Structure 1
Amino acid sequence: MSQLTLFDLPSKGRCSCWSLNPWKTRLALNFKGLDYKTEWVEYPDIKARLSPHVPANPPPDRDWTIPAMMFTDGTYIMDSKPIAERLEKDYPTPSLHLDSPIIQEIYPAIGAIARPLRAVWLPRVPVNLLNERSSEYFHRTREEVVGKPLAQFMKEEGGEEAWVEALPAIKSLGELAKRNGGPYVLGKTPSYADFIIVGFLQFFKVIEEDMYQRLGKAEPALGELYDACKPWLERDGH
């Protein structure tokens, strides 16, 4: 029987988890106290590493993406949501409470923050976080999407106006975080709903601390949730 293997994206310098989607999976693994190892995969190598083992994502998603996991029976699963479902099936305690309806509110709430701030966070990822090969890949593929160099994208659309546009959505996410009285989304019970939000917060924090601080200043409930989940953020580099 093989060990659980998490496929994650490396960062430059001290190699550690940074992207919001792998963080959802890593938080779930850490919360459940599971024995796993991390295999770091640079962006240009994702297809070659995963395509022999798992079908491509359907459009409009990119064909092969991180996170992915190899389970102890040799099965590979890609994407944080089906990974969470398999983890809950194989290791039901402690529960991720995947049946909580609030999860379906959290996904669009985060998207409503990320979209207006895309020119803030997207150009900073390859500069602040990625090794050279992944940085080149990220620049090339994301510039195809936005239609201009990332530095120009940030200069033209990544200013204070973007934060103003995102503020109502930040407030909405904070309301979800404290709906049941905190410190967790479900009140006193940690769940996958927390990990979706905290993975996003950690993503901003590792890109640039000030970005995380702005979220917490705008909606203190987000910082309180982050602090409550710190024990499961500790393991980030192996």
Structure 2
Amino acid sequence: MSQNVITLYDIPSNTPQPWAPNIWRIRFILNYKRLPYRTVWIELSDVENTLRSIGAQPASMRSDGQPVYSLPVIIDPLRPNTQTVVLSRVEKIVEYLESTYPARPIFPEGSRALQILFVHWIHEVLTKPLLPILVPLSHQRLPERSQAHFTAASGHPQLGPQDRELAWRAAKDQFAFLASVMDKNRGDIAADGIVVMGRNVSYADFALCSVLIWIEQVAPRDGWARVRTWNDGRWDSLKARCRDFMDVY
């Protein structure tokens, strides 16, 4: 069966669930679209060799011209009348899954541009104050062999208690702004005010919930314990709305 399902590559950790938010975005979509898949776990030290061996494209290029290989990556043997597809970069994978498997769309008609802009804001603004907190904690959750390869952690040294509290305060401000924007949906009779598009979950919710999972998995006591109470428990409610699509196969 494993040869006839989509393969999603992810990194192992010592958390109860995977934590990498970009990979969670893809897992949410696979679950939501009910596409059969399996997760293959690879240590960070093995990512480049593994991705080269399956013919995956690099995610980016360094300033010296050397390729950078990173996750998520999928292999799709299911696409009819074509060769097996190997895809890297989260944005390309999202677009591919939506166009190739249009049933149960993650972009309701007319919403694609706004949702992509919303997800860009999550990535570039909402998560910015979280990075100095969560990146070092993510490093600690990796197996020892992978920690040396998690080079992003070197740019975010462990914060002291005062700086960490300031970072959480800045994150709370960003979540409060987001809540105020999403509250504008409450005036629509068809909206419940929890999900981005009003009533039904969509790609924007999966991107946001991927960040919530990251917080919960790497900072359950110092982080998620506080975030889940912000804005009258809105983010805990959003995570509950996405729970049906959080299986790990």
TM-score class, shorter-chain normalisation, is 0.7 to 0.9
Partner of 1:118: 131
How much has 1:226 moved relative to structure 2?
1.0
| 1:212-223 equivalent positions in 2, closer than 5 A | 212-219=224-231, 220-223=233-236
Partner of 1:93: 103
How much has 1:31 moved relative to structure 2?
0.7
Counterpart among 166, 185, 189 of residue 161 in structure 1: 166
Q: Secondary structure at the match of 1:85?
A: helix
How much has 1:189 moved relative to structure 2?
1.7
Equivalent residue letter for 1:130 = L
Q: How many residues align?
A: 227
Q: Which moved more, 1:194-203 or 1:53-62?
A: 53-62
Residue pair 1:56, 1:64 contacting (<8 A) in 2 also = yes
Partner of 1:208: 219
- Structure 2 distance, partners of 1:109, 1:13, is 23
Partner of 2:190: none
Say whether 1:171 aligns with 2:183: no
TM-score normalized by structure 1? 0.85
- Structure 2 distance, partners of 1:179, 1:222, is 16
How much has 1:178 moved relative to structure 2?
4.1
Residue pair 1:177, 1:221 contacting (<8 A) in 2 also = no
Equivalent residue letter for 2:152 = R
Equivalent residue letter for 1:63 = V
Q: What per-residue deviation string (whole Å, max 9, x for no partner) do you get for residues 18-74 of structure 1?
A: 110110000111111111111111111111111241222234698111111001142
Residue pair 2:8, 2:74 contacting (<8 A) in 1 also = yes
Q: Flag structure 1 segments of 5+ consecutive residues without an equivalent.
A: none
TM-score normalized by structure 2? 0.82
Equivalent residue letter for 2:22 = N
How much has 1:213 moved relative to structure 2?
2.9
Q: Secondary structure at the match of 2:38?
A: strand
- Structure 1 distance, partners of 2:225, 2:178, is 15
Partner of 2:88: 78
Q: Which moved more, 1:208-217 or 1:187-196?
A: 208-217
Mark the CA change 1:60 to 1:109 in structure 2 (over 3 Å): closer, same or farther.
farther
Residue pair 1:106, 1:173 contacting (<8 A) in 2 also = no
Residue pair 1:4, 1:71 contacting (<8 A) in 2 also = yes
Partner of 2:14: 12
- Structure 1 distance, partners of 2:237, 2:95, is 27
Q: Flag structure 2 segments of 5+ consecutive residues without an equivalent.
A: 78-82, 187-192
Residue pair 1:184, 1:190 contacting (<8 A) in 2 also = yes
Partner of 1:189: 200
Q: Secondary structure at the match of 2:60?
A: coil
How much has 1:137 moved relative to structure 2?
2.1
- Structure 2 distance, partners of 1:11, 1:163, is 24
Residue pair 2:60, 2:69 contacting (<8 A) in 1 also = no
Q: Secondary structure at the match of 2:112?
A: coil
Q: Which moved more, 1:40-49 or 1:57-66?
A: 57-66
RMSD (CA atoms): 2.4
Counterpart among 123, 127, 146 of residue 134 in structure 1: 146
Partner of 1:103: 116
Mark the CA change 1:104 to 1:2 in structure 2 (over 3 Å): closer, same or farther.
same
Partner of 2:49: 48
